Structure 1
């Protein structure tokens, strides 16, 4: 995959169908996915779902624009998986909001006009894509509300009003967890809770001895690990307290730092920031941890989250200590392998209990398998696909 192409839309395109559409199976529906997250950022729910839906639809993953005053307006095309291509608008810098909306609308219209895209389905990850796609005629409109984006730092002021417009237009609404489902079902008649799932075979590799990645190999044990985005949802103070009170414990943090000042992160000898790592490498890191952490803060941005990493940690055979995220408590609080704690004192006690559990041979795996029984991205995606087909 990863075939890069740039399409300047002021020149004619020579081809039988729009780029990104499978010419041999042009009768397949085209699923135009409007995303606020980039495909190459962190491999999570969008990538898990779209890579599977690409088996049945021509998935076109339309990202937010990048700005370049040399290449000129156009679309950067990249094939990233079987049946999935990414389209990135390339626009000149300095455009105001109205110009950005107009430019993206014209790019999408021009792309659709390049050839036969077949039946069109729309999938929204963000309501902010609505202004430049609202005119499109689609057989099915899906809104996958994976997070309460309006509660995130730097959310556009118009987010809530735009979501109301999208809810009025959507035929089908999915939510990333049960808390979001409870909130959104008040505003739409066809809302389905589709919590993020897990690729058990991928993360299950961590249950076997794996070579320790070089940047982790010299870090002493016990190791407490976290992978994911480090942003306003991350409880910086709790992590700092944990590191100060237990200098013999080493905290491994993997993931990009976004929307917060890196200078605000605690810098202690037993906190190790390894940066972003590819999805393929995560099991090797997880295999070297003694306990997995989910130190989420309690604020508006975490009120409705349903972290994907909970089942990923468990699939890897690692006990988990989490703050009291509502969906984590409801889904895993009685599993015996996910401990809930909010204060530094309770968190330290829970980590110690998890470390002690490590000495009970096979008990962690047994409890984790029970908690994960029946979960898979294939099952989640299949249920979504069935609901989409009912709308066609």
Structure 2
């Protein structure tokens, strides 16, 4: 751990001690559209001394057509496909492999496995990646993870995947893929204490959720222009606004405490609709600007 001092405040720069390796991460989110998760932050740091390929989410299957986000998700995924393989300013590569968004049948999973293998091997050849450390964070990568030759396989479990309400994929299929990865993995990491405690996997570790301390520890000099106009007291939220939000609860609290103002910053799903004068949706913001929104809370 190295430390630097900025404005009288010590900030830490994490040195992971991993250098000269090739790392492939099958993420559970899309680099281009979703808010950066812990994987994004860690891989950005690892890319300083390692060759890193971030593979955008393979999805757990499409939501049902009746889902209000169905066409939004289709549109975003098609745009992501068009980028296929790109190098980003952080020094790593981001790839959106083209697959069929169906994992419910063995035949379609077989097709996807071969589509993925062709694209992955092509990208690995182009980037000079051999025998990588493989980091998997989504069950639908199980088939391809089993076929790639890797130095070590790490499976990160950050959710109860078979309880996902955002996918039409069978829970039995998700459980099967999840269990296969747990059996294949050299290391299984849990980012939720309850999930960790409920697990019986012997080679499991608990990796608790954290915060980018260096980014948020020093207050922004002033609040963001669209936040400073929100009256206090302010209840702030930074993150995805989707099906996991308890919309009725927010509506009820907003109705009962009209003097409380909700400042919601992040990408909003069509499922989150609240019409109240004290609930403010400010939309997604660049990560670098988030401290200016925290300043208003």
Please state which band the TM-score falls in when normalised by the shorter chain: 0.7 to 0.9
- Compute the TM-score of the two structures, normalised by the length of structure 2: 0.76
1:284 aligns with 2:292: yes
Looking at structure 1, the residues matched to 124 and 274 of structure 2 have their Cα atoms a distance apart, in angstroms, of: 49
Residues 94, 146 of structure 1: alpha-carbon distance in 2 compared, 3 angstrom cutoff: closer
1:76 aligns with 2:89: no
Give the alignment partner of residue 60 of structure 1, picking from 53, 56, 70: 53
Q: After the TM superposition, which parts of structure 1 deviate over 3 Å for at least 4 consecutive aligned residues?
A: 64-68, 90-101, 113-116
Looking at structure 1, the residues matched to 177 and 129 of structure 2 have their Cα atoms a distance apart, in angstroms, of: 27
Give the alignment partner of residue 89 of structure 1, picking from 87, 91, 97: 97
Q: Deviations over 1:216-256 (max 9, x none)?
A: 22221121111111122211111111111111221111111
Q: Deviations over 1:2-28 (max 9, x none)?
A: xxxxxxxxxxxxxxxxxxxxxxxxx92
Q: Deviations over 1:158-196 (max 9, x none)?
A: 211001110110000111122121123x1x211110112
CA shift at 1:205, angstroms? 2.5
8 Å CA contact retained: 1:105, 1:133: no
Gapped runs of 5+ residues in structure 1?
Answer: 1-26, 290-392
SS in 1 for 2:165: coil
Which residues in structure 2 correspond to 1:1-392 (within 5 Å)? 28-40=20-32, 41-64=34-57, 66-67=77-78, 75-82=84-91, 84-90=92-98, 98-114=110-126, 116-155=128-167, 156-157=169-170, 158-184=173-199, 186=200, 188-206=201-219, 210-258=221-269, 261-262=271-272, 265-289=273-297
SS in 1 for 2:217: helix
8 Å CA contact retained: 1:29, 1:119: no
8 Å CA contact retained: 1:143, 1:173: yes
CA shift at 1:94, angstroms? 11
Looking at structure 1, the residues matched to 78 and 267 of structure 2 have their Cα atoms a distance apart, in angstroms, of: 22
Looking at structure 1, the residues matched to 162 and 89 of structure 2 have their Cα atoms a distance apart, in angstroms, of: 29
SS in 2 for 1:134: helix
Looking at structure 1, the residues matched to 121 and 252 of structure 2 have their Cα atoms a distance apart, in angstroms, of: 53
Work out which of the two has the higher radius of gyration on C-alpha atoms and give 1 or 2: 1
- Compute the TM-score of the two structures, normalised by the length of structure 1: 0.59
Gapped runs of 5+ residues in structure 2?
Answer: 1-18, 59-76
Residues 94, 239 of structure 1: alpha-carbon distance in 2 compared, 3 angstrom cutoff: closer
CA shift at 1:42, angstroms? 0.4
8 Å CA contact retained: 2:131, 2:149: no
SS in 2 for 1:101: helix
SS in 1 for 2:96: strand
Q: How many pairs align? A: 252
CA shift at 1:64, angstroms? 3.6
Looking at structure 2, the residues matched to 114 and 285 of structure 1 have their Cα atoms a distance apart, in angstroms, of: 41
8 Å CA contact retained: 1:29, 1:121: yes
Looking at structure 2, the residues matched to 124 and 111 of structure 1 have their Cα atoms a distance apart, in angstroms, of: 17
SS in 1 for 2:150: coil
In structure 2, the partner of 1:372 is none
